[in-house]
């Protein structure tokens, strides 16, 4: 089985700031969310957990699996989508014509600029991760947990479910919501 989990809340989530690759830690609410996710997942026998190395995801993974002998393996390909110069922007939807908003509102017509990552780049790195790490382990019958981020998780969900770019955000979940993919 394959499960995916988005990290717990951060102060930037609460302030509606774009985090991207900016390494923001969990806030107290995020830690509580991760503890609740640990209770929800307590009866699932994971063989391995892959996590983004960004602290909000890694801390979530550690809290969820804190009393279990399950390896947590960090992989840079699981980092959040890079939003370039737009990282740290607060309430972008309140800014008329802010270019990063197309990423969320009209992904088909989104063009990465100012150091932001494109969908093609995101799909390439997460696709490589799936092919190299996840699919071989699934063929062995392993139960896997991936702890990541909103856009990065949507990329994995889109590839597994076969969503086109217009439906990219259909895979978005709330913070710390455990989802079984396969």
Measured distance CA(2)–CA(114) in Å, rounded: 34
Q: Is 41 exposed, middle or buried (0-12, 13-18, 19+ CB in 10 A)?
A: middle
Contact 19, 45 (CB under 8 A): no
85 carries an active-site annotation: no
Question: Dihedral of the CA atoms 123, 124, 127, 131 (nearest 10)?
Answer: 180
Selecting among 7, 59, 87, 117, the annotated active-site residue is 7
Among 80, 87, 117, 149, which one carries the catalytic annotation?
80
* SS3 of residue 6 by DSSP: strand
**Burial class of 50 by CB neighbour count within 10 A (0 to 12, 13 to 18, 19+):** buried
Are 89 and 18 spatial neighbours (Cβ–Cβ below 8 Å)? yes
Which of left, alpha, beta for 141 (phi over 0: left; psi -120 to 50: alpha)? left
Q: Known catalytic residue: 32?
A: no
Distance, CA of 21 to CA of 83 (rounded, Å): 7
Q: Catalogue the active-site residues.
A: 7, 80
């Amino acid at each position: 089985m394959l499960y995916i989990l988005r990290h717990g809340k951060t102060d930037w989530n609460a302030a509606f700031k774009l985090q991207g690759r900016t390494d923001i830690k969990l806030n107290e609410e995020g830690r509580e969310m991760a503890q609740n996710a640990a209770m929800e997942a307590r009866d699932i026998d994971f063989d391995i957990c892959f996590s983004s190395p960004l602290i909000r995801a890694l801390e979530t993974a550690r809290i969820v699996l804190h009393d279990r002998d399950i390896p947590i393996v960090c992989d840079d390909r699981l980092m959040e989508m890079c939003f370039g110069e737009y990282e740290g922007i607060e309430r972008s939807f309140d800014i008329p014509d802010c270019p990063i908003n197309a990423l969320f509102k009209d992904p088909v017509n989104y063009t990465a600029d100012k150091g932001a990552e494109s969908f093609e780049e995101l799909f390439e790195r997460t696709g490589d991760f799936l092919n190299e790490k996840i699919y071989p382990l699934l063929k062995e019958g392993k139960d896997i947990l991936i702890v990541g981020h909103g856009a990065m998780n949507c990329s994995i969900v889109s590839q597994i479910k076969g969503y086109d770019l217009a439906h990219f955000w259909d895979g978005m979940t709330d913070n710390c919501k455990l989802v079984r993919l396969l």
